[in-house]
A and B are shown apart, each in its own frame.
Chain A
Amino acid sequence: MALAQKKLMDVKLGQLPSWLGTRDFTPNGLLGSVRGGYERYYNKYINVKKGGIGGVAMFLAGYIALSYLWEYDHIKHDRWRKYH
């Protein structure tokens, strides 16, 4: 199978730079990959006959993790200030 069509998990470590070279990093390409990711998540967890709280809960947990990552700098400085 050609390198470009392989998914990330099937690419061997040594082939990673060349695989990255085949990916589309233009703005349109990035948008396409975000949309593709959204559709994969949506069709797997939300758009199912008996969807439950799991799909939404995973997404919100990811959002909390992302928010923590973004605020970490501020939290670190708060902690340092509190303990001098």
Chain B
Amino acid sequence: MMVSFFDQFASPSYLGIPNIAVAIALPWVLYPTPPARWINNRLITIQGWFINRFTNQLMLPLNVGGHKWALLLASLMIFLITINMLGLLPYTFTPTTQLSLNMGFAVPLWLATVIIGMRNQPTIALGHLLPEGTPIPLIPVLIIIETISLLIRPLALGVRLTANLTAGHLLIQLIATAVFVLLPMMPTVAILTAAVLFLLTLLEVAVAMIQAYVFVLLLSLYLQENV
């Protein structure tokens, strides 16, 4: 009876209450609303500074029409970063390892950018399907290729986030198991593996943040093309 390493990704529930409900609600608790004060306390100031910085950064390439998406993109970014980082704590459950959640984010938002583009500027939106300067014989093939690449974007967005986080958690669990098993037999190898585990954990922290950022960045890119 094999202990499957994929068991950690099964959606857990306790007494009928799914843990994912608490895991998804948790980021809301961690970012309190700033009170209406002129100068806030240290923690709220840091939080506000962070959010302002990356909303600013995110809105740089977008035109004024795209700024309507500021709230959505900034809150999505905070949500994904928090969920990814909380998933690195021991025994916790990471909702973003579930493909359903990531597709639930990717498909509607991508579809929104496409529909906005098609409604407001259909010529330009369709014009993105053919890059400038393509040789005439290649045009039909290229349009098909670009359409496929357009349609595959939501799948890529969702699967990218899922796969990165799942792979990271799996690697951590595998290498940690290796360290535990090796410790009585070959302590030196175990220490080396523990060093690898430490570096891997650092990588996972970085990946957690980067993947959230990439998700939101690509969305803003798709928005930029279309809005």
Residues of A within 8 A of B (CB): 38, 42, 46-52, 55-56, 59-60, 63-64, 66-71, 73-74, 78, 81-82, 84
A50-B42, A67-B19, A67-B90 given; name 15 further pairs at CB < 8 Å: A42-B32, A46-B41, A47-B44, A51-B41, A51-B43, A55-B43, A56-B43, A63-B86, A64-B92, A67-B91, A67-B92, A67-B93, A71-B19, A81-B1, A84-B1
Report the number of A-B residue pairs with Cβ-Cβ less than 8 Å: 59
Bound-state Cα–Cα, A2 to B125, Å: 71
Complex contact B30–A64 (CB within 8 A): no
What would 28 A/B residue contacts be, using CB atoms closer than 8 Å? A38-B29, A42-B32, A46-B41, A46-B43, A47-B35, A49-B41, A50-B42, A51-B42, A52-B42, A59-B29, A60-B86, A63-B86, A63-B92, A64-B89, A64-B90, A66-B22, A67-B19, A67-B89, A67-B91, A68-B90, A68-B91, A70-B12, A71-B12, A71-B19, A71-B91, A73-B14, A74-B7, A82-B3
The residue among A52, A55, A64, A69 with the most chain B CB atoms within 10 A of its own CB is A64
The smallest beta-carbon distance between B5 and chain A, in angstroms, is 10
Residue of B nearest to A60 (CB): B89
Interface size range on B against A:
20 to 34
Known: A64-B90, A78-B7. A50 touches B1 (CB 8 A): no
Known: A71-B12, A82-B3. A48 touches B89 (CB 8 A): no
B86-118 CB mask vs A (1 if < 8 Å, else 0) is 100111110000000000000000000000000
With a cutoff of 8 Å between Cβ atoms, the chain B residues found around residue A49 in the complex are: 41-42
Known: A78-B3, A81-B3, A82-B3. A46 touches B32 (CB 8 A): yes
Bound-state Cα–Cα, A43 to B29, Å: 14
Residue of B nearest to A50 (CB): B42
With a cutoff of 8 Å between Cβ atoms, the chain B residues found around residue A82 in the complex are: 3
Residue of B nearest to A73 (CB): B14
Complex contact A74–B3 (CB within 8 A): no
Complex contact B43–A70 (CB within 8 A): no
Residue of B nearest to A78 (CB): B3
Residue of B nearest to A79 (CB): B3
Known: A63-B26, A81-B1. A47 touches B91 (CB 8 A): no
Residue of A nearest to B23 (CB): A67
With a cutoff of 8 Å between Cβ atoms, the chain B residues found around residue A59 in the complex are: 29-30
With a cutoff of 8 Å between Cβ atoms, the chain B residues found around residue A84 in the complex are: 1
Bound-state Cα–Cα, A7 to B9, Å: 41
With a cutoff of 8 Å between Cβ atoms, the chain A residues found around residue B7 in the complex are: 74, 78
